[in-house]
Structure 1
Amino acid sequence: MTELSLIIRAEQPNDSESIERLHERAFGPGRFARTASRLREGAPHLLDLSFTAMVGTLLVGSVRLTPVMAGEEPALMLGPLTVEPAFESRGIGAALMQRSLDAAKEQGHTLVLLVGDEPYYARFGFRRVPPRQLQLPGPVNPDRFLALDLQEGALSRAKGIVTPLPHSA
């Protein structure tokens, strides 16, 4: 296969089982112990800001954004960003990232946080959260705690503990 016929679309409620299996293959059983995963358990992700990558009927990638509070500043927690291992290094993760960030900005969100590799995420504008400015509810390597201002100054307003922001009923 030389070219992928890739479609990026909004995550659908019936995608959840396929996405869970994708996360299992990509991250294994230890994924639930990670601090970012535990934080995301506290609130459901936003379907209108979460996207899937499809090749035909095969789901090959997923990105999710979950509402959180960064101290007193509303924010989004990005992740997991997942690509089917057999489809890695084809730009699928970058396409998912860009689509989710564009949608978040269009909807007026101001700040996106994530735990990940700075060399990968820097190309999207992410940078390290300044030391001791924000704390996640569990251990995390501070070199991997990253943020992106979708509105200038949003990160500088965010101070304190990052907590889930459950949807109102």
Structure 2
Amino acid sequence: MYTVTNETPEDWWEIEALYDLCFAPGREALSSYRLRDDVAPVRELSLLARDGAGILAGAVRFWPVRVGDRAALLLGPIAVHPTRQGEGLGALLLRESLGKAADLGWERVMLVGDAPYYSRFGFSRLDEVVMPPPTNPDRVLGIALVPGGWDGVSGAVTRWS
């Protein structure tokens, strides 16, 4: 049994430790991190999952970005503690956060990730969206939170300002 709550400022370092555990060294050198520099995550969508003992089991964050002249959410990182993987916790965090994003009026979400995993949630390749290099274009995926949410949206992904 997990409890899903919003991240608070006090959770920051615990979440960063989870990300360090789950991702390769140098994760912050990725181009997606340049889009996050000096931009606050969307607090209402930054979620945590804790087990019954209060131990952090998973976390997800979202960041506002621009695609061309349109607003979008950049999902990530999302991580589940290695001892909790395979329990559906990543799916729980993903579905919960996407539902909240739609409720808040966001129209589209994108990420850089594995299509075979994320396609089961409705994500597909964004051929007209260009992430900063050296991102593999095959890994740029998106989901519309409203009908037509990605229609006519194209161009470079840039930092929110």
Amino acid at match of 2:138: D
Amino acid at match of 2:68: G
> Greater helix share, 1 or 2?
1
- In the alignment, the residues of structure 2 paired with residue 31 and residue 159 of structure 1 have an alpha-carbon distance, to the nearest angstrom, of 26
Mark the runs of 5 or more structure 2 residues left unpaired by the alignment: none
Amino acid at match of 1:153: G
Residue 42 of structure 1, CA deviation: 4.4
Within 5 Å, give how 1:13-28 maps onto structure 2. 13-28=9-24
Alignment RMSD = 1.1
- In the alignment, the residues of structure 1 paired with residue 159 and residue 60 of structure 2 have an alpha-carbon distance, to the nearest angstrom, of 18
Question: Between Structure 1 and Structure 2, how many residues are aligned?
Answer: 160
- In the alignment, the residues of structure 2 paired with residue 48 and residue 156 of structure 1 have an alpha-carbon distance, to the nearest angstrom, of 26
Q: Which residue of 2 aligns with 1:66?
A: 63
- In the alignment, the residues of structure 2 paired with residue 124 and residue 80 of structure 1 have an alpha-carbon distance, to the nearest angstrom, of 16
Q: Which residue of 2 aligns with 1:110?
A: 107
Within 5 Å, give how 1:46-125 maps onto structure 2. 46-55=42-51, 56-125=53-122
- In the alignment, the residues of structure 2 paired with residue 57 and residue 101 of structure 1 have an alpha-carbon distance, to the nearest angstrom, of 24
Q: Which residue of 1 aligns with 2:126?
A: 129
- Per the normalisation by structure 1, the TM-score is 0.90
Structure 1 stretches (4+) deviating beyond 3 angstroms?
Answer: none
- Per the normalisation by structure 2, the TM-score is 0.95
Is the 8 Å Cα contact of residues 79 and 90 (structure 2) preserved in structure 1? Answer: yes
Q: Which residue of 1 aligns with 2:147?
A: 152
Is the 8 Å Cα contact of residues 42 and 165 (structure 1) preserved in structure 2? Answer: no
Residue 159 of structure 1, CA deviation: 1.3
- In the alignment, the residues of structure 2 paired with residue 43 and residue 103 of structure 1 have an alpha-carbon distance, to the nearest angstrom, of 20
Mark the runs of 5 or more structure 1 residues left unpaired by the alignment: none
